[in-house]
Every structure is written in C-alpha cells, then in structure tokens.
Structure 1
Amino acid sequence: MTQTVLEVRGLTRRFGAFKAVDGVDLDIAEGEIHALIGPNGAGKTTCFNLLTGSLPASSGTIRLRGETISGLGMDRIAQRGLVRSYQISSIFPDFTALNNVRFALQQGRRTNFDFWRSELSLTGLNDAAMGLLDDLGLSDWAEVRAGDLPYGRKRALEIATTLALDPQVLLLDEPTSGMGREDIGRVTDLIRKVAAGRTVVMVEHNLPVVKGLCERVTVLARGQVIARGTYDEVAGDPRVVEAYLGKAHA
C-alpha cells in the first residue's frame, strides 16, 4: 500500500464572507505526480499558498509524513521538505545560472552570510551546482546571465534552484505557462525526470500535460474538491465537464 506523504483535511481560507478554499481534503501519495486543476478562480493558487505557509488557513490541518505543519512559517515548512517552486529560491537576473544555483544551495547551510562575501567563498559549491545544472540540461548555460536565458531555460533554472533545497514534496505552479510547444515538451520531460525519488504536486492548465504526466488528479471548483482520480476518471465526470473540461474544449 502506497504511503501518504501529504495529508490535508478540511483546509479552508476565508476572505471576509468569501471562502476561497472551502473544506479541501487531499491525500498525496509518496512518489506520485499529482495535478491540481480547475477553472480560473477555483482556489488552486490559494491552496498552494496555504500548503506552503505563505498564507494562514482559517481552519483545517496539513500533515507532512504524519507531522502537523499547519500554522508554521514558510521557512520551517521548507526545512521539513515541502517546497514550492519560485517560493524560497529566486532567480537573480544579473547573475549567471551557476551563481543562481550556488546561492540556492546556501539555503541548506546554517549561515547564509557567504552571499555577501567574495565569489571565492562559493567555489566549494561548484560541483553540486554543476550537477544540478547538468541534470536539468543547463550545463552549457552555466555561465550565461540568468536574465538572458530563453524562457524555457529560465523556468528550468528556477526548478534547479528549488531542487537545491532538496525537497521531499515539490509544488509546481503552472510550470508550462506561456511556453511554446518545444519548451513545453522540454519542461514536461524535466518534470518527469526530477519526479524520480520525490513527490510532485502541480497546478497546470495544459490538460495534455496533465494527462501525460500525472498519476492522479484533483479537481477544484469554487474552492471545493468536485472530483479526484485518474485523468480519464475525472475527465468523464459530468461535474468536471461542466465546471472545467467543457469550457476548455468548447
């Protein structure tokens, strides 16, 4: 039986009388790629914000490997292994791709003061940084200024800086947004590669990407879960067709 790594019960976020997330339950299995989909305004991004501690929940519980992380700050949640891409790691456009990954690797150290010192202080991280760049197909771009990278490569670099934090559960918020077909294919292959040995939860509007990547799908509408299962199972659910898939294929 597959172990549940992320368990969410009754997750709710109110803004006044409005419930952006309304009693959401999630069970994310160890090692799976799980999609969170739904129409605009369904509460997907708010749900991600609640999971990562960037927004406090009005009620509900979140457990990571059985440990309650509800109410913890972003840093403490990330230290426990749940990291949202582009949340703690960030891209510094005026620095090279290599330096961006080295800066992210420092997050795992007890002190981050090296950031303000000579570049020589970071050379010990070169092997680890180059290893990540190579894994993500960026080794040839190591000395390129991050701001000059093509869009798809820049997104790959953002994922590389997130992986530098060694997450157990990686949350990806619309990883293929704004990409052309070639970049979508490259990033899809990348997600499949980085998912080996870790759990991935992704918000994604590109339904062919979801179908091709994700073992299970949870569908939100108006802040509530309306369906869960495999892609084919949720695609055949009349509530999903009405709320999401029907609009997408109209």
Structure 2
Amino acid sequence: MSARPVIGICTPLERARWSVWDLEAALLPTNYLDAVRRARGMALLLAPDPALTANPDEALDLLDGLMLAGGADIDPSLYGAERHAETVETYPERDAFELALTRRALERELPLLGICRGMQLLNVAAGGTLRQHLPEEFGHHEHRKAIGTFDGADHDVELAAGSLAERAAGESRHATKSHHHQGVGRVGDGLVVSGWSSFDELPEAIELPEREFVLGVQWHPEADERSRLIGAFVEQARAHRVARDAADAAQAGAAPARAT
C-alpha cells in the first residue's frame, strides 16, 4: 500500500485551559483528525508561523492537500470593510498565515478544502467579501442556533448538478451541520457558487472550476461521520500524490547520467 496522503490542517489560535494551565494555544478539534484518518490520510497540523507566512512553500512541499478549518471571524480590513459590532475575536497572525498558504496552494494547484471559516477565507483570498452578521440581513439565527453546539442546527443545502460539491457530497440535496454567523458576500475572482441553503439561498459552497479539488463549504462535514466530503478530498489528495510521484520519477529517469 502506498504511503498515506498528507493533509495539512491550519490550526486556530485560542485561549485554552487544560490541567493547571490557562494559555494561548494552537488547537484543533479531534473530529477533523478523525475524519482524515477514516479516509486513510495523515493529518499534519499547521500552526501560524511568520516564516511560513513569508515562504509558504516550506510547508506546502510536505503536503498532498490543504484543509482550512473553522474558527474565529476574519478581520474585515482584509476585504476592505469596516468592522461590524458582531465581528469579534479576530486573529491577525492566523489570517495572514492562512491567506498566504491558500494563495500559494492555489498557484501550485494543490487540492484544497475550506470548512466554514475556511470557505470564507478562500473567498477573501480570491478577492471576495463577507457578510459580517447574517441575522441582521436575513432576520433569523438558523445558521447558528446555539453557540458552541451543532444541536438543532441541521439544514439541507442544494448543490449544483455536476459540480465538485455535488460529486464530493454524493448527492444534490445534502444534509449539513451548521455553526456560523457570517457568510460569503461578493464572490472572489474565478470562484463559482455551487451550493445554497435550502431555506434562504445563502451561498454554502464555492469552488474553482477546472481544478482537481478547490472547494469551500459553509457547513462542518468533520462533525458528521456520515458525510463523504472529507473522504472525497483525501482521495483527491491521494491521486495528486500519485501523479506528482510519477512526474518526479519520470523527470529523474530523463535526467542525464553523471559522468563517472
């Protein structure tokens, strides 16, 4: 069996308490890791690092796919907006780090999956904007009914026929677990909306056509063991690895022999 594809997952920066400690930490819910492992991938956690922000290739050289996880709001100055009163707890170091990795991953055509905040960050990386507080625009809290839990926040999304989102989910009407108060505004350059909330038509999936796998979803597939989406992403990362290894082997075989 070939080596497992390596999936880099960007970690949030948060204040955390464990044992006797209360410190800032780079952390990630284990359901992201479990989902990657179930798909026979290896998860590599990527914490914000100024050196990698300056040179993302140092990390991306190690990866077969990049996953952008959920978490805190993105600083609205990054998409040219004033801060809304409900936009709180932004982390500039994380924003800069993930934007740098995302833009370079797109240039390298690396498989990429953005989850919740990760979908929003993908859109900002492509020059798009965000809606900063959905209840103000839509008049309801259906996308995040209770802070800190997915209880009662299930809803369906409609996925465009033939889209990457539909293929990855395995169906055109997909049940999701939702926990967000922001969403995509103006869609970034080259991206297309391929999924909408069934009850208010909020964009819930965006993708970059004609790429192996560049997809952002506004829901949390890692929280749903029945979801096929992360498995589809890991499989594409595996195919990307196989193609890259074959190209490297062909290039090595074509290299002129050294003189002895």
Q: What range is the shorter-chain TM-score in?
A: under 0.3
Which has the bigger relative contact order, CA under 8 A and spacing at least 6?
1
What TM-score results when the alignment is normalised by the length of structure 1? Answer: 0.27
What TM-score results when the alignment is normalised by the length of structure 2? Answer: 0.26
